[in-house]
Structure 1
Amino acid sequence: MVEKILTEYVNFIRYFETLLKIKYKQDINPCSFSPTFFKRVGTIEGIEYWFHGSGCTATKDGVIYAYDIGGDEIDFTQWKFSEFVRTHPQYQKLNYTPEFIEYELYQLISKGVLGWLIIEGAEGTSFGCIFKSYRVLLEAPYVYSIT
């Protein structure tokens, strides 16, 4: 079930990005051109969004889609994905714990759907703190099309 939920999460993000690309006549990821062509906070097609750092948080009908972008790849933490599940009216009924979601995301790594994105401590810091995020490696063979 988590793979199905992940597909919906990724498809929505790609749909949202496509809306921005069409509106602003750009063919690159909106995270790359947002400061140049439009405000980092706004609304499009009922989706409220704000770009921050290397990512974006979009909400539609109370559902939170938070993610980061590395190139054209979608990156997210277990917490960001859990927020999507927690705020989605259909998926919140499943009562998945963050630990269960993390376990299921690990399973998707072994299937090649996700991979690790490991970000080491910030340059110039003396500590070796490592933060982990998931990177989407394999997306569904379809995406939303807008005509």
Structure 2
Amino acid sequence: MIEKILTDYITFIRSFEALLKDKYKKDKNPCSFSITFFKRVGSIDGIEYYFHGSGCTAKKDGIIYEYDIAVNEINFSQRKFSEFIRTHPEYQKLNYSPNYIECELYKLINKGVLEWKTIEGVEGKAFGCVFICYRVVQESFFV
């Protein structure tokens, strides 16, 4: 089921980005041109969005889609993905624990669909901890 949920998550993100690319006649990721062509906070087609740092939080019908982007690669943490599940009316009924979600995402790493992305600090400054995120490496899996 996590594969279906992740497919919905990725599909929404790419559809949202396509809306912005179409509206602003750009073929690169909206994170890279959000400052110059449109406000970092706004709405399009019923989707409220907020671009921040290297990512975006989008909300539609109460469902929260938060992610980070590097060039054209989707990155997310277990917490961000869990928030999507928690706010989705269908998926929240599954009552998945964070540990279960983490285990299922790990299985997708073993399949070669996701990879670990480790973040140790920003601009050379250590946080004193390590953040483990996921990066989508095989998007064709979700099509």
TM-score calculated relative to the size of structure 2: 0.94
Q: How does 1:98-117 map to 2 (within 5 A)?
A: 98-117=98-117
In the alignment, structure 1 segments of 5+ residues that lack a partner are: none
- AA aligned opposite 2:138: L
Task: State the Cα distance separating 1:38 from its structure 2 match.
Answer: 0.1
Cα distance, 1:62–1:136 mapped onto 2, change above 3 Å:
same
- AA aligned opposite 1:130: V
CA contact (8 A) 1:21 1:28 kept: yes
Give the Cα–Cα distance (whole angstroms) in 2 for the partners of residues 67 and 41 of structure 1. Answer: 15
- AA aligned opposite 2:131: F
Task: State the Cα distance separating 1:120 from its structure 2 match.
Answer: 1.6
- Name which structure has the greater RCO, CA cutoff 8 Å, separation 6+: 1
Alignment partner, residue 19 of structure 1: 19
In the alignment, structure 2 segments of 5+ residues that lack a partner are: none
Q: How does 1:101-140 map to 2 (within 5 A)?
A: 101-125=101-125, 129-140=129-140
In the alignment, is residue 9 of structure 1 matched against residue 9 of structure 2? yes
SS in 2 for 1:129: strand
TM-score calculated relative to the size of structure 1: 0.92
Cα distance, 1:24–1:86 mapped onto 2, change above 3 Å:
same
Which is helix-richer, 1 or 2?
A: 2
Give the Cα–Cα distance (whole angstroms) in 2 for the partners of residues 4 and 127 of structure 1. Answer: 34
Which is strand-richer, 1 or 2?
A: 2
> C-alpha deviations, 1:41-88, integer Å up to 9, x for none?
000000000000000000000000000001100000000000000000
